[in-house]
Amino acid sequence: MTSSNEYGSSSWELIVTVDHQYEEEQKEFTLRVSGDLHVGGVMLKLVEQIKISRDWSNYALWWEQKKCWLLKTHWTLDKCGVQADAKLLFTTQHKMLRLRLPNMKTVRLKVSFSSVVFKAVSEICKALNIRRSEELSLLKQSEDTLKKKKKKDKNNKEPVIEDILNLYNSPVISGSPASPGLYSKTMTPMYDPVNGTPVSSTVTWLRDSPLAAPNCSILAFSHPNYSPETLAEMYQPRTLADKAKRNAGWLDSSRSLMEQGVQEDDQLLLRFKYYSFFDLNPKYDAVRINQLYEQARWAILLEEIDCTEEEMLIFAALQYHLSKLSLSSEAQDFTSESEVDEVEAALSNLEVTLEGGKTDSILEDITDIPKLADNLRLFRPKKLTLKAFKQYWFVFKDTSISYFKNKESGHGEPIEKLNLKGCEVVPDVNVAGRKFGIKLLIPVADGMNEVYLRCDNENQYAFWMAACNLAAKGKTMADSSYQPEVQNILSFLRMKNRPMSPQVVSDPESMGMKPECFVSPRYAKKYKSKQLAARILEAHQNVAQMSLVEAKLRFIQAWQSLPEFGLTYYIVRFKGSKKDDLLGVSYNRLIRIDAATGDPITTWRFSSMKQWNVNWEIRQVAIEFDQNVSIAFTCLSADCKIVHEYIGGYIFLSTRSKDQNETLDEDLFHKLTGGQE
């Protein structure tokens, strides 16, 4: 028996459990330590006592009660606050995790459970060859989704075997930061020596990793659609409140997986969290574009975002086209030479536009302030009135629309001037019915004023809609994004046009087409299978000439043009209000939405935001805007940190530029999203 004098009165016993990677049972070890011993010394003593010769570099101490890692090995136990009652676990920092990707495939790979989620996601994206990891994050599945899955598994007599891609030796294991070289915009694409087409960047970057060759196609190419029965069994949010509940599962980017209760071999969803997709490049982004397309596709199929019947048919036609291309042998190279030429041409056109070269432009003189002037029809909804449009002479200048009785009175005082800065712009279009409308929700002191404009044709609509979209963001038609915006709107309208020769449509039955796979269950119930197939094939004629990458980018572009695109909902209670509202968080604004009707009440732009913070005691987010406007709300459907991180995250993404190196300022991200907790 040893006396206390032998160790000194300040020493005490510390029990540490060792989590052996390949043994089921954990073993406990008792160490004699003192408060001035540093964490590294504790680990050294422990390893000496274990007496097993192996590489312990991936191990660290986890403090069970405090739910934190002791990673600062130079700190003493006193400084960490560790005493004799502490339960410490000596365990691996990198553990296996199952990730459900946007294309519904599951990959199993080693991930750092000790790094903050922001860094862990960066390492995951490096392993999967997805650039711009700051746009993605990890999401826990909502209880409603899990309940539906359990019910489905209960009804199935045969157990469902999930197809999992194992990436045991992924680069994430090393825990090293992403090499700037992999993400450099100056990187030269690699070309196949036989046919001259670009080799997938995934294969060239990670030739020695498990992601090369066959595994690459799982992530970079689309795969056959699920059956209509499987689609019907998947969880679909029915209301905006259901959508809000799903967003409660986002993990805190400034804490580690282990700190947030994630266990080894748990399943999480890897999703694009921020709808601000920067520098999409078909040469390097095979996986990123495909996963983005898949996230958009599932958002449409599961009705996570609303669209019209006409738009649903366009999405269905693009999916059908992509499924045909994916099955054909020619599509196995992600980009062909002609596609690369198209991309190069688009980039050079963009450079000419930005540098002020000669381009097709509606602006005769760049020194003039651009404006639009034309006859449009206007309608202001009032209670108990019919929807009657009246024609006026409209002038669009800067970020405002003025309207006059006729063209002759256009130089006098307008009937009304509408400032569109900060307004909501909603398309009100039915191409088949020759209806080209623009719905404007203009912020006023007590809410939003509704104004409807009606254009005569596609071209007029494209110019005015593009101008409205830019004005809402505080930009004028002099902005370089105006012409591309006009072209995007026109190309989307052309896809909706019914072809002149419907007799060309093939017989759907002879093609073995399952049309219900390409639309949401609600639309599948509306039509007989043969009718639906005929309508999809008719719409397909407008997109039949598109290449694989072009069709995916068009799908993403069409998704981005939907009114609800990029809105993430939360149930909140505003300060001074007696009822719950919905808060929509987008890449450039916050929207207060009536929970009962789904109508926008007020919009606040990030560009006019002065500061925002969180009162952690009452869990309240407070935001100050220009012109002495301030709001405060508590979040009811999720932790307020999640909403705060969303706002800060979008501010962080707005600081990116193509000039800078693609390495991220992680400190700035945490500064903007942390909320000084």
**At residue 291, does pLDDT exceed 60?**
yes
- What is the CB-side half-sphere exposure of residue 515 using CA atoms within 13 A? 27
260 or 226, greater pLDDT: 260
Structure confidence at residue 238 (pLDDT): 83
- Contact criterion met (CB below 8 Å) for 452 and 435: no
Q: Which two tokens stand for residue 655?
A: 């600081």
**At residue 503, does pLDDT exceed 60?**
no
**At residue 112, does pLDDT exceed 70?**
yes
DSSP-derived letter for residue 587 is S
**By mean pLDDT, which of 107-116, 249-258, 340-349, 545-554 is the weakest?**
340-349
Structure confidence at residue 354 (pLDDT): 39
Structure confidence at residue 207 (pLDDT): 41
Q: Looking at domain 371-477, which of 3.40.309.10, 2.30.30.90, 2.30.29.30, 2.60.40.10 is its CATH number?
A: 2.30.29.30
Please give the Cα distance from 458 to 40 (Å, whole number). 69
Mean pLDDT for the stretch of residues 478-482: 90
- Contact criterion met (CB below 8 Å) for 407 and 420: no
**At residue 146, does pLDDT exceed 70?**
no
Q: Where are the beta strands (DSSP E) in 346-415?
A: 371-379, 390-397, 400-404
**At residue 1, does pLDDT exceed 80?**
no
Query: How many CB atoms are closer than 10 A to CB 82?
Result: 22
Domain boundaries, the chain: 11-92, 371-477, 568-674
Query: How many CB atoms are closer than 10 A to CB 199?
Result: 16
343 or 375, greater pLDDT: 375
Structure confidence at residue 272 (pLDDT): 97
**At residue 161, does pLDDT exceed 50?**
no
Tokens 């800067």 sit on residue: 398
- The predicted model scores a pTM of 0.81
Structure confidence at residue 96 (pLDDT): 94
The answer to whether 11-92 and 568-674 have equal CATH topology is no
**By mean pLDDT, which of 49-53, 186-190, 226-230, 498-502 is the weakest?**
186-190
- Contact criterion met (CB below 8 Å) for 356 and 366: yes
Query: How many CB atoms are closer than 10 A to CB 487?
Result: 13
CATH of domain 568-674: 2.30.29.30
Structure confidence at residue 443 (pLDDT): 81
Phi-psi group of 34: left, alpha or beta (phi > 0 → left; psi -120 to 50 → alpha; rest → beta): beta
Tokens 């071209």 sit on residue: 459
Share of the chain above pLDDT 90, in %: 48
Confidence of residue 284 (pLDDT cuts 50, 70, 90): confident
In degrees, rounded to 5, the angle at the alpha carbon of residue 352 between the alpha carbons of residues 459 and 483 is 20
Mean pLDDT for the stretch of residues 542-558: 91
Structure confidence at residue 194 (pLDDT): 36
Q: Looking at domain 11-92, which of 3.10.20.90, 3.40.718.10, 3.30.230.70, 2.60.40.790 is its CATH number?
A: 3.10.20.90
Structure confidence at residue 16 (pLDDT): 94
